Amino acid sequence: MSDKPQGANGHWQLQSIVGQLRGAREQWRTANGRSSGEQGGRQLPSREAVRGILEQLCGALFPMRLGPVDLREESEDFYVGHTLDAALNALLAQARLELRYAARHQQRQEDVDAQALQLIQGFAAALPGLRSLLDTDVLAAYHGDPAARSVDEVLLCYPGILAIIHHRLAHHLYRAGLPLLARISSELAHSATGIDIHPGAQIGPSFFIDHGTGVVIGETAIIGERVRIYQAVTLGAKRFPADESGNLQKGHPRHPIVEDDVVIYAGATILGRITIGKGSTIGGNVWLTRNVPAGSNVTQANLQHDDGTQK
């Protein structure tokens, strides 16, 4: 009996399948205006490369907790410097790919390499501030959860903290003009935690997502300071306006504004460009499509008329 792999002796008709797959690719490229002359290396950022960059950045931001297991405090600065150098150079390469892709498809002539370097230099300079901002999130989780025994446990174990670390980094990239890298970063956290935060969302300090699975925060959401939300909360859009051709209009404010010191309990759905006033509490499984004044306490019970219809 031969040890030759089954796929090597023609059982799979690979030559035919490869040819058909090439035809499908060429058909898609022709239909979408992609040039057949676009050959060579990778033209888009890599999810795996971004995953590695984020792991390095997490280690550099929190070296003694998210860094290597054998790291000692006396070599902490050396590790951070070495790791940041590798991460930022890798991020620069990915930024060049995104900017080249955008310039090519928008038919713009610009110095992509210089632009990419400037953007990543700005990202690097922002890291100390992002670390300080993340410290407020870690403390908010520790103080907001009676089950948390230490800030170290929060940082090592809580999915909401992983999601907000990714978001703080992704949001900077998004605002800097690297939306694809930002979206890849946020979707890696989404895959790992079940928490879906669009990188465009604006989130203030001391933000805490407890449990987290099923949380959705849309692109144009604005969240103030010291906000706490629980699992399965949605801050979404109520409707999606279209242009005359029926295409969805993009970039319009369509997600909620949540002011400071708001608590939103599990399963609440808040839709549209509405405002949840400062210090309000939104109860579990509430469905909201209207503004809520500051200091409100909204529950399913106080949203219903006597006949059972919604107010």
Instruction: Name the nearest CA neighbour of 50 among 81, 105, 92, 101.
Output: 92
- pLDDT at residue 307 is higher than 50: no
Structural domains of the chain in order of their starting residue, each with its CATH number: 44-194 (1.10.3130.10), 214-241+249-311 (2.160.10.10)
DSSP letter at 120 equals H
For 288, phi and psi rounded to 5 degrees?
-125, 135
The structure's pTM equals: 0.89
CB 192 within 8 A of CB 159: yes
> Is the Cα torsion angle 284, 290, 293, 294 positive or negative in sign?
positive
| 213-255: pLDDT as tens digits | 999 999 999 999 999 999 999 999 998 777 777 777 777 899 9
User: Residue holding tokens 């919604």?
Assistant: 310
Give the neighbor-by-neighbor strand order of the sheet with 216-217. Answer: 196-197, 216-217, 234-236, 269-271, 287-288
- pLDDT at residue 194 is higher than 80: yes
CA angle 185, 190, 195 (to 5 degrees): 125
Q: How many residues belong to the chain? A: 311
Q: Which of 40-49, 71-80, 129-138, 216-225 has the lowest mean pLDDT?
A: 40-49
For 275, phi and psi rounded to 5 degrees?
-115, 130
